[in-house]
């Protein structure tokens, strides 16, 4: 005896499908356009840092406001909003999106694992003789989804939608790995009292979730308190954004329009894509090239970062994805070819936002090493983007 879905169930399914399609369309539109703006802001920062306005640029970033410099407000404050959005994306994809089942997670999961592991190993190999720089091993391990999708948008319909979804899912898992790395390896000088206060706020957020509170205001107020306590605790304050996101309820799948998580994610997307990330890029991409010679590119830090992004990402992402496909654990994205998958692996070498962020944490006490990180990130990301576009154009 076969059971046919009733009209009510068909209508609910149609609403979910329509909402998901519209949401994905808006997501790619915002990420792609935001990526292009990010490129422009990074280029502007690089030009200004090597112009007569360089001193004004750098001095402005060090202006103190309410106890923190403008650079710190951007990196610790604005980026908390970025991490809030990352957390919302991770939760949505894990519960009701492209990562909702083990089958869907297999290919981007293997690719993300390889894309974090191999670049880190390459960086450590290049820096094997300089122990003081080995702390930057995680710098080339992250992919910048906005930048990568911005480059991908230049190719239009030459790239199947399935590969864009694969890239976004991979980058989300990549971001999750980066969040864990920051929490475990880039915290110092912990304050027990502030950690306890942070734990109390997290408990409050969990209670709000369990009690079915769907208004966003209580969550956002508690999230602001959590950010302050974590800022004082020694754990990087941006992680408060991820914790807050994981506590905001998704709601019922049959009523996506009423979901607090989806509502907040939709509202944050344009602000993060068109303001937060470009401002971060403008504040962090500026590096003076006056004292840098071609021989400096062979220094361990810039070489390790550049090779980690350029070689490590393509080897790790494509190699681990190929293993998953060949062993039957995953399938090649629908309508795509192996050459196109390799082109996407090259684009994963664009590690701008998260790589610069981790670099600033890894070498917080050494401006020279932070500048070398910027050079390595820019070099590796630009070459990876160019090669990725060439491969994808030829594959099309």
Mean pLDDT, consecutive 10-residue stretches, the chain (396 aa), reads 50 55 55 74 89 91 88 88 86 78 83 95 96 93 79 77 83 83 79 91 95 92 94 83 91 68 89 87 82 78 95 96 92 88 93 87 88 91 92 86
Partners of 65 in the β-ladder: 68
- As given in the structure block, the two tokens for residue 370 are 């932070």
Q: What span, in angstroms and rounded, lies between the C-alpha atoms of 384 and 306?
A: 9
DSSP string for residues in 242-303? HHHHHHS----TT-GGG-HHHHHHHHHHHHIIIIIHHHHHHHHS----TT--GGGGGSHHHH
Q: Give dist(CA 128, CA 126) in Å, integer.
A: 6
CB-neighbour burial class of residue 300 (10 A; exposed 0-12, middle 13-18, buried 19+): buried
Question: What ranges in the chain are assigned the alpha helix state H?
Answer: 7-49, 54-61, 70-72, 79-96, 102-126, 145-153, 161-185, 192-210, 216-233, 239-247, 260-271, 277-284, 300-307, 313-326, 338-347, 352-362, 367-395
pLDDT for 31 equals 58
| Residue 114 tokens, joined | 């390889």
Q: What is the pTM of this model?
A: 0.76
For residue 283, what pLDDT is reported? 87
Separation between Cα atoms, residue 122 and residue 354, nearest integer Å: 18
Of 116, 107, 104, which Cα lies nearest the Cα of 315?
116
Q: Which residues on adjacent β-strands are paired with residue 69?
A: 64
Unique residue bearing structure tokens 């050079």? 375
pLDDT of residue 203: 96
Question: pLDDT value at position 1?
Answer: 41
Q: Residue 24: its pLDDT value, please?
A: 53
């Amino acid at each position: 005896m076969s059971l046919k879905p009733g009209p009510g169930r068909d209508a609910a399914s149609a609403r979910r499908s329509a909402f998901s399609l519209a949401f994905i369309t808006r997501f790619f539109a915002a990420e792609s356009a935001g990526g292009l703006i990010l490129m422009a802001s990074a280029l502007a920062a690089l030009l200004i840092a090597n112009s007569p306005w360089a001193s004004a640029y750098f001095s402005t970033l060090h202006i103190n406001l309410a106890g923190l410099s403008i650079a710190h407000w951007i990196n610790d404050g604005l980026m908390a909003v970025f991490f809030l959005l990352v957390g919302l994306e991770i939760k949505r994809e894990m519960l009701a999106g492209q990562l909702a089942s083990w089958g869907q997670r297999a290919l981007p999961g293997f690719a993300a694992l390889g894309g974090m592991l191999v670049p880190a190993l390459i960086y450590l190999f290049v820096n094997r003789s300089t122990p003081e720089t080995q702390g930057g091993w995680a710098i080339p391990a992250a992919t910048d989804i906005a930048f990568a999708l911005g480059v991908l948008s230049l190719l239009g319909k030459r790239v199947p939608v399935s590969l864009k979804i694969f890239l976004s899912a991979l980058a989300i898992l990549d971001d999750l790995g980066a969040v864990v790395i920051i929490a475990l390896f880039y915290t110092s000088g912990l304050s027990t009292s502030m950690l306890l206060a942070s734990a109390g706020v997290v408990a409050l957020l969990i209670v709000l979730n369990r009690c079915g509170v769907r208004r966003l205001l209580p969550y956002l107020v508690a999230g602001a308190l959590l950010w302050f306590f974590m800022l004082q605790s020694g754990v990087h304050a941006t992680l408060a954004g991820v914790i807050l996101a994981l506590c905001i309820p998704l709601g019922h799948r049959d009523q996506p329009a009423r979901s607090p998580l989806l509502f907040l994610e939709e509202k944050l997307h344009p602000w993060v894509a068109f303001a937060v990330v470009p401002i971060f890029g403008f504040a962090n991409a500026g590096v003076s090239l006056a004292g840098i010679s071609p021989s400096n590119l062979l220094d361990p830090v810039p070489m390790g970062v550049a090779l980690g992004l350029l070689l490590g990402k393509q080897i790790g992402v494509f190699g681990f994805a190929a293993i998953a496909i060949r062993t039957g654990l995953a399938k090649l994205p629908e309508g795509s070819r192996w050459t196109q998958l390799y082109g996407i692996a090259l684009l994963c070498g664009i590690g701008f936002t998260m790589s610069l962020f981790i670099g600033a944490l890894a070498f917080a006490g050494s401006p020279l090493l932070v500048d070398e990180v910027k050079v390595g990130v820019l070099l590796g990301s630009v070459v990876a983007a160019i090669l990725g576009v060439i491969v994808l154009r030829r594959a099309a």
